[in-house]
Chains A and B, each alone.
Chain A
Amino acid sequence: MVLNQASLKRDGVQDYVSLRATAIILTLYTLFILGFFLFTPEVTYDNWKALFSNLLVKAFTLLALVCIAVHTKIGLWQVLTDYVKSAALRAVLQFFLYTLAFGYVAVGLFVLWGA
């Protein structure tokens, strides 16, 4: 069990908790961004840029991006294992989808870095 926890090996309980923990964070982030759009009379480049210049917003956004990667890794795996029965095809699809998920985090990191 110790080995399991220390490696990136998956187990059902870990997936169950991770899926829900990331879901809660992503819901809060969605409400935060929605709130910004609803309560800002006019979204301009200046107030949009100022939002993402805030260190806490940068941290929250990076957290949300990492949560997207974790959440989609579990969710896409659940969907793929149900509908794609060929292990080889599933491996190829997972490779591309997880690479795309990593791309989202990487692009997001550099956007936040520059903002």
Chain B
Amino acid sequence: MPATAKASILHRVTGVAMFFALVFVIWAWAASLSSPEGFAAVKEVMTSFIAKFIAWGTLTVLSYHIIGGIRHLIMDMGHWEELESGNTSAKAAIGLWLVVAVLAGVWLWF
């Protein structure tokens, strides 16, 4: 699969994933603002591996969607539309995303 196709399918998958991840995000947001006890409960939940993994997954799909989205906006302005530049920018977007995904993991776990 060429890099451009990977970038395209990743944009779709991350978009759909985020739509469902919002269930967790909005739950955590609503509960944490409900009362000091609610905030403490969310903080407690967030220490578990599974919650951290969901949070990491959410940040990771969000970051790809934003990076890919910015690439699309640049393409809207008429850049990176040729085979070579399109493939290069797709590879750069995926590469940058992997770095951000690792940083998000470091932020959450350390």
Residue positions of A touching B, CB distance < 8 A: 20, 23-24, 27, 30, 44-45, 48-49, 52, 68, 72, 75-76, 79, 97, 100-101, 104, 107-108, 111, 114-115
Contact = CB atoms under 8 A, between A and B. Distances in A.
B33 A107 contact: no
A99 B58 CA distance: 21
B8 to A, nearest CB: 11
A30 B59 CA distance: 10
B83 interface: no
A47 B69 CA distance: 31
Q: Per DSSP, are chain A's interface residues mostly helix, strand or loop, or mixed?
A: helix
Contacts of A97: 19
A48 B26 contact: no
Contacts, number: 47
Contact of A68 (B22, B39, B69, B70): B22
A82 B49 CA distance: 35
B66 A27 contact: yes
Interface residues of B, number: 21
Given A27-B66, A68-B22, A115 B33 contact: yes
Given A27-B66, A30-B62, A68-B22, A111 B12 contact: no
A93 B26 CA distance: 21
Contacts of B15: 72, 75, 79
Interface of B: 12, 15-16, 19, 22-23, 26, 29-30, 32-34, 36, 39-40, 62, 66, 69-70, 73, 76
Contacts of A79: 12, 15-16
Contacts of B66: 27, 30
Contact of B39 (A24, A30, A45, A108): A45
A111 B16 contact: no
Nearest to A68: B22
B62 A48 contact: no
B76 A104 contact: no
A24 to B, nearest CB: 8
Given A104-B26, A107-B30, A111-B29, A76 B16 contact: yes
